A and B are shown apart, each in its own frame.
Chain A
Amino acid sequence: MTGITRRDALLLGGAAMAAPGLFSFGASAQGGTLKIGVLVPLTGTHASDGARMLKAHQLAAKMINDTGGLKGLGGAKVELVVSDIQSKPEVSRSEAERLISREGVSALTGAWASSSTIPAAQVADRNRTPFMVTSAVTDAITEQGLKYVFRTAVKAKWFGQYVADFMDDMKKKGMAIDKVALATEDGPAGQSVHANYASVMPGRGYPVVADETFRTGSPDFSTVATKLRTSGADAVLSVAYADDSTVLLRALASQSYRPLYIGFGGAHVNQTVAASGKPAERTFGVVEWAPDLRKPASEAFVKAFAESYPGEVPLSNQAQAFAATYALALAADAAASTDRNKIRDALRTLRIKDGPASLLPAPELYFDEQGQAPATCVIVQVIDGKFVTVWPDAVAARPPAPLQG
């Protein structure tokens, strides 16, 4: 899609060395367009995720352009310069470099997985180009003092607190939750969240009485289910891909064990899990956004998404990608400039309370000194075969339903 030959690279390198000022000036002199570089994996293992993310980036650009562009920039249009990072960290790094130096983008956004986001964010920071992280949750991204990196996504270590807050609320409503069990997949995603849950839960008054790991693709979870059941835990916190979630939930159901089950993130809050019938019914999930969120911007986004992509319901990470693109455009609009430094400064003072970019569940979208947005999560529950937002009350579509029913 955006190939670069070796000769181009050499030429480019030479030009950059000969005239280092050329490119940074180039960024502020594009007459009528704001160029935003979009790093997404369109091939390789994350191809389907990347294609989804791109749809959300494109929808944001289209909505801005269709409503008269950026007023602060005299009606300038948003132009997305899309780059396929091939699901590879090294390609993500080189493409970030290319978009900055050759395409002259004013800002970057992307790049799905943490492993691809981290190198690209470092390149952006070194080249003083704002980088808006869409969906990567690794804590360090906004903790290592990068001055040009911003993030709409939640930090991994916040999930445990949200889940504990939710359980506190359920306890107040009369549910008995004294002990929790962890069931996590043994890959990097599972283990980073596992570390967070394991450190947060005991301090919040939820001793961890069972701690099971499993391997993705295991055909049989009955031993894991037996251990969870015999531990006497009232709540099971799991981190699993949709594949394993369905097999685990079936194993729990076949032992007639119905704890408060909370699955993790977009990988779990997936219609295939909800569609697994009885075993998934009334189980919960913690996720950064859900399409039924009761918030005007969120409802408008779902509607616009369905109009642009008929029959499709957006997922949580797509809402983040949408907000990320929008926030960059709003910052350029506020700065009345396509200059990278001015956009960066505008991002620092940007406060979004309404409008299309306010679709995420936090009451306000802004970025602290580390570039981190005060992102929050919602809790969804499978009710009649569909994920429904049930917590927090401010954005919930309905209150949680009883576990049995």
Chain B
Amino acid sequence: MSATIFLQALLSGLTNGAIYALIAVGLTLVFGVMRVVNFAHGEFLMLAMYGGYLAWAHLGVDPVIAVALVVPVLLALGVGLFESLIRPAMKVPEINQMAVTLGLSLLLQYLALMAFKADNLLIVQDRSTASVWIGPVLLQMPHAIAAGAAAVLLLGLYLIMRKTDFGLIMRAVSQSHDGAALSGIDIGRTYRWAMGIGVGTLGVAGPLMASVLYVNPHIGTLFTLKAFVIVIVGGMGSFGGVLLGALLVGVAESVAGVLTTASVAAAVPFALLILVMLVRPEGLLPVGGGARA
């Protein structure tokens, strides 16, 4: 393997990792605050991608600007999801909660199939094939934009969590539901906003991912499993963990793809997951550790 190809794999891995982080951060927020595993996370990403596509195709809105339109929609969907399904589901055993979100994921896929058909939809812009050369290696423009957005989003969420009262409340609920309730925090309201923001982050990811890839009703499933791996590897509920886990998964996959075959590379994130579970079951940067979300 030449140095150029290794550097290219490394850069691609880091970009992919940033994109994965963009998707996984909402999942970890919901899990950290509410202890709810949302299997329909990927389907909300799919809806956000359709949102980005529709804004581009029918309103002529650039995907970067479409983020501003899609985020409020996803935020509302997240709040709606909590009020309609998750709030009642929180009173039942966790296994039932999982069944609810799993069922929702399938339902959304089939509804999308009915509404949009199975064919891929593409956002085609001049930018689609533009690229930035960094020395001998290159970064495709849509990927660079998505990775940049991931960095901004993660930093923004981190600041909100650390510097605002709202973040303080989230962290309090995340540490102890009962303790937070005793201090007079409205748990239901906090949950609603956690779900809203958790799903709302996909409003950033969706339009940008739609210009990187394509949109079809099943595209969410490509990312759901990987997002779970990242969240668990990083430490459930931890922002720093998501970033670290995502970059690790992205780079490991990409470099393994160069060294071996694609099939082996696809197994790498899961091997990584097993390894972390064996050696450090709480995740690499757990919430209780130094880098608390």
B-binding residues in A (CB < 8 A): 48, 185-186, 212-215, 217-220, 222-224, 226-227, 230, 242-243, 246-247, 250-251, 253-255, 272, 275-279
Q: Is the CB of A277 within 8 A of B128?
A: yes
* Bound form: Cα–Cα A230–B138 in Å: 13
Q: Are B131 and A255 in contact (CB under 8 A)?
A: yes
B167 CB–A CB distance under 8 Å: no
- Which B residues are CB-close (under 8 A) to A220? 12, 15-16, 140, 143, 212, 254
B234-272 interface bits toward A, Cβ cutoff 8 Å, 1 = contact, 0 = none: 000000000000000000001001100111011000000
**A246 close to B262 (CB less than 8 A):** no
The interface residues of chain A lying within 8 Å CB-to-CB of B19 are 219
Does B84 lie at the interface of the complex (its beta carbon under 8 Å from any beta carbon of A)? no
In B112-146, which residues have CB < 8 Å from any A CB? 118-122, 124, 128-131, 137-141, 143
Interface string of B185-203 (1 = CB under 8 A from A): 0000000000000000000
* Interfacial residues of chain B within 205-236, with CB under 8 A of chain A in the complex: 209, 212-214, 216, 219, 222
Q: Is B105 an interface residue (CB 8 A)?
A: no
Q: Is B170 an interface residue (CB 8 A)?
A: no
A186-B261, A186-B266 given; name 16 further pairs at CB < 8 Å: A212-B262, A214-B257, A220-B12, A220-B140, A222-B8, A222-B140, A222-B143, A223-B258, A227-B5, A243-B216, A246-B120, A247-B214, A254-B141, A255-B138, A272-B121, A279-B128
* Cα-based distance from A272 to B119 in the complex (angstroms): 8
Residues of B within 8 A of A214 (CB): 257, 262
Return A86 CB to nearest CB of chain B, in Å: 16
Instruction: Report how far A186 CA is from B266 CA in the complex, Å.
Output: 10
B258 and A272 within 8 A (CB) = no
B4→A226 contact, CB < 8 A: yes
Residue of B nearest to A247 (CB): B213
Pick the residue among A223, A250, A272 that contacts B128 (CB under 8 A). A250
Contact (Cβ within 8 A) B130 A223? no
In the complex, the answer to whether A215 meets B214 with C-beta atoms within 8 Å is no
Q: Shortest Cβ distance from B94 into chain A, in angstroms?
A: 29
Q: A219–B213 contact, CB under 8 A?
A: yes
B9 sits at the interface (CB 8 A): yes
CA A115 to CA B209, docked complex, whole Å: 33
Docked-complex contact B122 and A215, CB < 8 angstroms: no
Chain A residues with CB under 8 Å of B119's CB are 272
Find out whether the CB atom of B140 lies under 8 angstroms from the CB atom of A276: no
- Which B residues contact A (CB, under 8 angstroms)? 2, 4-5, 8-9, 11-12, 15-16, 19, 118-122, 124, 128-131, 137-141, 143, 209, 212-214, 216, 219, 222, 254, 257-258, 261-263, 265-266
Known contacts A213-B263, A214-B262, A230-B2; A219 and B212 CB within 8 A of each other:
yes
A219 to B263, CA, bound (A): 15
What are 10 A-B contacts with C-beta separation under 8 Å?
A186-B261, A212-B262, A215-B262, A219-B213, A227-B5, A230-B5, A243-B213, A243-B214, A272-B122, A275-B122
| Minimum distance in angstroms from A386 CB to a CB of chain B | 15
Residues of chain B contacted by A218 (CB below 8 angstroms):
262
A215, B129: Cβ atoms closer than 8 Å: no
The contact of A272 among B131, B141, B214, by CB within 8 Å, is B214
Closest to A47 in B: B118
Residue on B with the closest CB to A253? Answer: B129
Task: Report yes or no: A254 in contact with B140, Cβ–Cβ below 8 A.
Answer: yes
CA distance A48 to B113 in the complex (A): 10
- Smallest Cβ-Cβ distance to B209: which chain A residue: A219
Q: How far is the CB of A300 from chain B (nearest CB, A)?
A: 27
Note all chain B residues with C-beta closer than 8 A to A243. 120, 213-214, 216
Q: Contact check: which of B8, B209, B213, B266 meets A223 at CB < 8 Å?
A: B8
**What separation, in Å, do the CA atoms of A246 and B129 have in the docked complex?**
11
Would you call B118 and A48 a contact (CB within 8 A)?
Answer: yes
Q: Which of B9, B212, B266 meets A215, CB within 8 Å? A: B266
Given contacts A223-B5, A230-B5, A247-B214, contact A276 B122 (CB under 8 A): yes
Docked CA distance A218–B254 (Å):
10
- Could you tell me if B9 and A223 are in contact, using CB atoms closer than 8 angstroms? yes
CB–CB B5/A226 < 8 A: yes
B213 / chain A contacts, CB cutoff of 8 Å = 219, 243, 247
Q: Are B257 and A223 in contact (CB under 8 A)?
A: yes
Q: Which residues of A contact B261 (CB under 8 A)?
A: 186, 213
CB distance from A122 to the nearest CB of B (A): 29
Tell me the smallest distance from the CB of A356 to a CB of chain B, in Å: 28
Q: How far is the CB of A29 from chain B (nearest CB, A)?
A: 43
Task: Report which of A215, A222, A272 forms a contact with B265, defined as CB distance below 8 A.
Answer: A215
Tell me the minimal C-beta distance from B6 to chain A in angstroms.
9
For A186, list chain B residues within 8 Å (CB): 261-263, 266
The docked-state distance in angstroms from the alpha carbon of A275 to that of B265 is 30
Knowing A213-B262, A220-B12, A223-B8 are in contact, say whether A277-B131 is a contact too (CB < 8 A).
no
Q: Are B129 and A250 in contact (CB under 8 A)?
A: yes
In angstroms, Cα B142 to Cα A246, docked, is 14
